[in-house]
Structure 1
Amino acid sequence: MATSSAVGSFDKADMDLWLQMPGTWVEAPNLRRGGESGVQRVSTSEHQLYYRKQQVEHLYYDWRHPFGYPTAMREYNALLQARKLGVRVPRVVYAGCRKQNKRWLALLVTEALHGYTSLEDCYAQGEHERWGEPLHCEILRRYGSSLARLNAGRWQHGCLYLKHVFIRVDRRGIDIALIDMEKARQRISAKRAARHDLRQVKRRSSWTESQWQAFLQGYRSVFSTAVPE
């Protein structure tokens, strides 16, 4: 007999209802952690767009879950905590898991970030050249301050590629959102969270020195203690 645990919902929809909705793969199921995990784009009858992360026996282990628990549930908690810290992330509309035939099944559904584009895609499409240097640096400052809010709360993103940083630039101004927080976790200190994420950001970007300093300027405007580099 299956057991279940739903920790969030949208219109009281359960896991089976969400799974029945047709979708298209944006991240094909990958095999790791002893199971599989993938992401589909789903459009409801109301033409609302969501992303559905589906997992089978895709587990993490810690002192609270020595026998393993779905990573989607860890991501759900990280998304909630990030929002409390003032960091824009996709809004969760459903999160749940259950054990069936002795295997964990998990589902995490989030709203699409309308009007946002990843930094990776912006660079690939040459958007940074159209921005000009002043706007480009301001975007990086906003990215820095957004990440600093997360780290100041002792939360470490843990997987900061440019494809995980989404931006929106329009008449309302500049907005930054972070996605894919499956590896996020809270550290014992803000400095440890900062040190890990800043090293990833620097290693995975190809910014000029002035652009890196713009990012750090935004970061330092929020992070109250000395920034580890």
Structure 2
Amino acid sequence: MAVDFVAAPGVASQDRFAYFWSQQGEWVEEPNLRRGGESGVQRVMSANGRLLYVKRQTGHLYRSWLHPFGRPTVLRERDAIEGLRQLNVNVPKLVFCGAERDADKQWRALLVTAALDGFTEMENWYAAGGRERYGEALHDRLLEELAVTLTRMHLGRWQHSCLYIKHVFVRVTGEGPDTKVEVALLDLEKSRRRWSAQSAAQHDMQQLRRHSSFTDTDWLKLVYFYENAFGSAIKGLR
């Protein structure tokens, strides 16, 4: 597992789980009860001043034919983060991930990721006037970058499975001809591999349509860019 471990100096590798479990910060996602356990996310500052997000879980499991007795969902999210990074998809950088059973044989699990510096939720970017500030030509580039990002994921047969617009983040930097547009994806807890790219694409794109506020014109532009990058039409998107 490739991780970027950030902790206080002198923390041994076998103590990393305990170190991060002991860290406390502001709840950005209050603990919720589901999947037979509890899961929540805190914002924590590392020893070297780096902003981290710590997903903390107790008994929060998913089951599959490979794991019929249950497996912590953060391990599935870790697999997705690593898989999408290999496909050149912007996702949060993995700092630490681990799971262990406590004295009562209940799973405890952690996923620690670095903040996506400079990125903001796409809907917040719209609300802050990003489209008006940069103009329609850049907005088209943003839609194309989103389409290419999703295509990379789907052609790798990864399905996000919770592709709501609130999980799409954008970053626009520079001015004039040097303006750079980037897209990142978050909340990969439900992500999984599919047998075909078409299956992953159809599920996620239809889900994004239901859980976004794109106008009909913007949605058709996104679909145009997406199908060009994907290489074929996807049923049910128009």
Task: Report the TM-score, using the length of structure 1 for normalisation.
Answer: 0.92
- Flag as ranges the 4+ runs of structure 1 deviating above 4 A: 6-9
SS in 2 for 1:221: helix
- Is the aligned partner of 1:169 residue 2:172? yes
Give 1 or 2: higher strand fraction. Answer: 1
Q: Distance in 1 between matches of 2:233 and 2:127?
A: 34
1:115-194 aligned within 5 A: 115-171=118-174, 173-194=180-201
Contact 1:24 1:42 in 2 (8 A): yes
Residue of structure 2 in register with 1:63 after alignment = 65
Residue of structure 1 in register with 2:223 after alignment = 216
Displacement of 1:8 after TM fit? 4.6
Post-superposition Cα deviations, 1:69-111, rounded to whole Å, max 9, x if no partner, equal: 1001000001100111111100101000001111110000001
Displacement of 1:123 after TM fit? 2.7
Contact 1:154 1:193 in 2 (8 A): yes
Residue of structure 2 in register with 1:32 after alignment = 34
The one-letter code sitting in structure 2 at the alignment partner of 1:131 is: Y
SS in 1 for 2:230: coil
The unaligned stretches of length 5 or more in structure 1 are 1-5
Displacement of 1:7 after TM fit? 7.9
Match of 1:41 among 27, 30, 43: 43
Task: Report the TM-score, using the length of structure 2 for normalisation.
Answer: 0.88
The one-letter code sitting in structure 1 at the alignment partner of 2:206 is: R
The unaligned stretches of length 5 or more in structure 2 are 7-12
Match of 2:202 among 195, 217, 227: 195
Contact 1:145 1:221 in 2 (8 A): no
Post-superposition Cα deviations, 1:105-152, rounded to whole Å, max 9, x if no partner, equal: 000000100010011222333333333322222211111110111011
Displacement of 1:31 after TM fit? 0.7
The percent identity for this pair of structures is: 46
Query: What is the aligned residue count?
Result: 224
- Is the aligned partner of 1:77 residue 2:79? yes
Change (3 A) 1:7 1:132: closer
- Is the aligned partner of 1:93 residue 2:107? no
Residue of structure 2 in register with 1:3 after alignment = none
Q: Distance in 2 between matches of 1:207 and 1:226?
A: 19
The one-letter code sitting in structure 2 at the alignment partner of 1:108 is: L
